[in-house]
Amino acid sequence: MWGKTELKKGQIGKVTVLSNTSLLDNNLKSVRTVKKGDEYRVYSYKSTNGGLYGLGGGQFVKKGSSIKYETPSKSKLALLNMVSKNPLEVHFIDVGQGDSILIKTANGKTMLVDGGKKGSHVVSFLSSKGVRKLDYVVATHPDADHIGGLVDVLHSYSVGTFINSGKAHTTQTYAELLTLVGDRNIKYKVPKIGDKISLDENIDITVLNANENASDTNDASIVLKVTYGQVSFLLTGDAGTNMEEQMYKKFNVQSTVLKAGHHGSDTSSSSAFIQRVKPQVTILSYGKDNSYGHPHAAVVSRLKNVGSKIYSTAESGSITVTTNGVTYSVSAKPWTGSGTGVVTSKPAPPTAQIVFSNCTELRKVYPNGVSKSNAAYQTKMDRDNDGWACEK
């Protein structure tokens, strides 16, 4: 609303009647009297006959002391323009136990945040949405369930800028990813807290967390707040509760849509954080029947306590939130589960272990490595401590 009236497409301003005056037709004849205090939308202005404000339908009021003319603020006009254009789409891609998010703006700009563990499904999804290039690719942190699929993505798409947490890592996947960025001459950036990402002139993207010196890879996660008009998205990677506290002490974290941290683990999504975000919608991105027990019941309870509608990629597949900057819609039905009672972020070790001497030997049997639920898993082979040993 703007005063007593709602902005409409094509509107350039409004007049407020200060004292009773005549409403004129195209022949400048009085149609009726408009009364003090009334407000009318203005769609045009003529400089003839002392100045005439067009109210639509061939009706005018004359410029003078009996009326006050105002133009809307730039922010109101920007919001009006957004509503009249194609909407912003944020796709939470089902990649099993992992994260991958495609942001596609009304102007055709694209950003991919993470790529899950394997990239073939992500590449297919991007193709199905008509993506031909990616303006930005963001690797929130170097865990395999977030960056593994980005290798295929970089092989398949032209990328404008690659944004990386900067957290050093030793896996083959991480090394291959950085090599690809260099070989393809992709612009490379490690952001700082408070940085802005210029994806689209109508969208504000702020970096709320980025910590390449974090002792834990999850806490190195790049966290983005994406704001389009009155609708906002908080994409938290795997950032833990300590990082959440730092964010809400420094930034306004309240958001319309929350991508819950660490797949719904209780290492993220503290009560204090959730109460400050107050998400109307929460997306949980995790694999069905995963060995970590995600999402955890405590997290689900916290979200329900603030009235958030919860959506699950494990139950609904890929989920799209579409918004015009004022209203939004979600492509799936809310999830009604309660999570698991598990409160640890790591699964119990296997009871019977199959021993391989090194990763070379293990990959002869398991080419893509093994998860912690596999009896062949060994801690010493899990170099990044992400619950997956000998991944490429």
Annotated domain spans of the chain: 13-72, 87-330, 347-392
Interatomic CA distance for residues 76 and 72, integer angstroms: 6
Write out the H or E segment, with its range, that includes residue 258.
strand 257-259
What pLDDT is stored for residue 309 in this prediction? 96
What pLDDT is stored for residue 161 in this prediction? 97
- 283: closest CA among 225, 335, 205, 207? 335
Buried b / exposed e along 324-337 (16+ C-beta atoms within 10 A): bbeebebebeebee
What pLDDT is stored for residue 296 in this prediction? 92
- Within the chain, which residues score under 70 in pLDDT? 1-11, 72-86, 341-355, 362, 364-368, 373-375, 392
**The domains spanning 13-72 and 87-330 adopt the same CATH topology:** no
- 59: closest CA among 6, 4, 2, 15? 15
Write out the H or E segment, with its range, that includes residue 67.
strand 67-70
Interatomic CA distance for residues 62 and 69, integer angstroms: 11
Domain at 87-330, CATH class: alpha beta
Residue 292's SS3 state is coil
Contact 299, 240 (CB under 8 A): no
Q: Which fold has domain 13-72?
A: SH3 type barrels. (2.30.30)
Count of C-beta atoms within a 10 Å radius of residue 198: 12
**In the structure encoding, which two tokens stand for residue 239, read together?**
């950032």
Contact 319, 281 (CB under 8 A): no
DSSP 355: P
Tens of pLDDT, residues 26-76:
888 998 998 998 888 888 888 888 899 888 878 899 999 999 988 766 555
Interatomic CA distance for residues 367 and 373, integer angstroms: 16
Classify burial at 320, counting beta carbons within 10 Å of its beta carbon; exposed 0-12, middle 13-18, buried 19 or more.
middle
What pLDDT is stored for residue 362 in this prediction? 67
Record the pTM.
0.69
Interatomic CA distance for residues 216 and 71, integer angstroms: 51
Classify burial at 232, counting beta carbons within 10 Å of its beta carbon; exposed 0-12, middle 13-18, buried 19 or more.
buried
What pLDDT is stored for residue 154 in this prediction? 95
Q: List Cβ neighbours of 275 (8 Å cut-off, separation of 6 or more).
A: 306
